[in-house]
Chain A
Amino acid sequence: KNEVEQSPQNLTAQEGEFITINCSYSVGISALHWLQQHPGGGIVSLFMLSSGKKKHGRLIATINIQEKHSSLHITASHPRDSAVYICAVKPGAQKLVFGQGTRLTINP
């Protein structure tokens, strides 16, 4: 079993829909990251969380430390949001551990 599990693995939605991507982890962590990887490979860091909630534009990330769970929400989704979204956790001082990613496709 992976230390970081994401769901769903693939998600297709229509433009404008509210999107939720989930990340569960099994170890104690000092921080959790959400990353976005576009076709072609480039990765962009979206959020780094250690508690609570962060918002940036149409993106919202939440984390529940007790339940070892984080969600990434996208409001008013757009085709340009189509990408792979990756959750990564940092168990203390150890290296980042990455989830498999969620492939999101937003159709016009």
Chain B
Amino acid sequence: ETGVTQTPRHLVMGMTNKKSLKCEQHLGHNAMYWYKQSAKKPLELMFVYNFKEQTENNSVPSRFSPECPNSSHLFLHLHTLQPEDSALYLCASSQGREETQYFGPGTRLLVL
């Protein structure tokens, strides 16, 4: 247990569905991150939030929409995804942007 939880752990969705991934951290951290891990590719940083404000968006398509209502919760809203978006989506948090990141278990997403 790292103190970062993600739900759901597995998700199958069609290309026309709308779904949301949830991340919650119980560590009192101020920074939260969404990463994408596709098969045979390195981890890719998608979004960074620091004190609830989005500080990085690494050219992520608009069909992925993050939301950070408070420092403990982070959502990734999914809409009109493509099969190539199938991947493991990992959430992480850290005390500050320069500190060690703690990862959640990930949500394995399959888009049909």
**Residues of chain A having any CB pair with chain B under 8 Å:** 2, 4, 30-31, 33, 35, 40-45, 48, 86, 88, 90, 95-101
Minimum distance in angstroms from A5 CB to a CB of chain B: 11
Chain A residues near B106 (CB, 8 Å)?
Answer: 40-43
15 interchain pairs, CB-CB under 8 A? A33-B100, A33-B101, A40-B105, A41-B88, A42-B104, A42-B105, A45-B100, A86-B43, A95-B45, A95-B48, A95-B58, A96-B43, A96-B101, A97-B42, A98-B44
Chain A residues near B48 (CB, 8 Å)?
Answer: 95
B52 an interface residue at 8 Å Cβ cutoff? no
What residue of chain A has the Cβ atom nearest to residue B102's Cβ?
Answer: A45
Cα-based distance from A97 to B44 in the complex (angstroms): 8
Cα-based distance from A4 to B41 in the complex (angstroms): 12
Chain A-chain B contacts (Cβ-Cβ < 8 Å), number: 51
Cα-based distance from A87 to B37 in the complex (angstroms): 14
Cα-based distance from A33 to B94 in the complex (angstroms): 14
Pairwise interchain contact B100-A43, C-beta atoms closer than 8 A: no
What residue of chain A has the Cβ atom nearest to residue B42's Cβ?
Answer: A98
**Given pairs A33-B100, A41-B90, A90-B98, 16 additional interface contacts (CB within 8 A):** A40-B105, A42-B104, A42-B105, A43-B103, A44-B2, A44-B103, A45-B101, A45-B102, A45-B103, A86-B42, A86-B43, A96-B43, A96-B45, A96-B101, A99-B42, A100-B42
Pairwise interchain contact B42-A101, C-beta atoms closer than 8 A: yes
Q: Which of B37, B41, B104 has the most CB of A within 10 A?
A: B37
**Residues of chain B having any CB pair with chain A under 8 Å:** 2, 37, 40-45, 48, 56, 58, 88, 90, 92, 98, 100-106, 108
Chain A residues near B58 (CB, 8 Å)?
Answer: 95
Minimum distance in angstroms from A85 CB to a CB of chain B: 13
